[in-house]
């Protein structure tokens, strides 16, 4: 799965149109469309805005994008769990007690 497909999956899960995601993420509709179809790779600030609108972290979005089972209803939950586990590991590494 590509990043644009992951964004489309999350957008459709919320039952939003491309226009609604564009408005919520402060992007143009054309930007959302070209990202979703894979014609454009977004800048970091665009990904940040899209993730904020979709209420997912960048890590979660990327985990969904690389998932082998993108249509699985549990893919978002698995991504959330992995994201939390990664953060915990990073905290242990950089803040040993």
pLDDT score of 16: 95
Domains belonging to the chain, first-starting first, are 3-94 (1.10.260.40)
Contact 5, 61 (CB under 8 A): no
Give the pLDDT mean for 60-71: 76
Give the pLDDT mean for 26-53: 95
CA angle 57, 67, 86 (to 5 degrees): 45
pLDDT exceeds cutoff 70 at 89: no
CA distance 90 to 32: 32
């Amino acid at each position: 799965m590509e990043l644009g497909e992951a964004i489309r999956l999350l957008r459709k899960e919320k039952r939003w149109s491309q226009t609604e995601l564009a408005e919520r993420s402060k992007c143009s509709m054309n930007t959302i469309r070209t990202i979703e179809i894979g014609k454009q790779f977004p800048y970091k600030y665009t990904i940040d805005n899209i993730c904020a609108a979709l209420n997912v972290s960048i890590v979660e979005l990327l985990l969904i994008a690389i998932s082998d089972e993108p249509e699985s209803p549990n893919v978002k939950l698995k991504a959330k769990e992995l994201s939390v586990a990664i953060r915990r590991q990073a905290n242990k590494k950089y803040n040993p007690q």
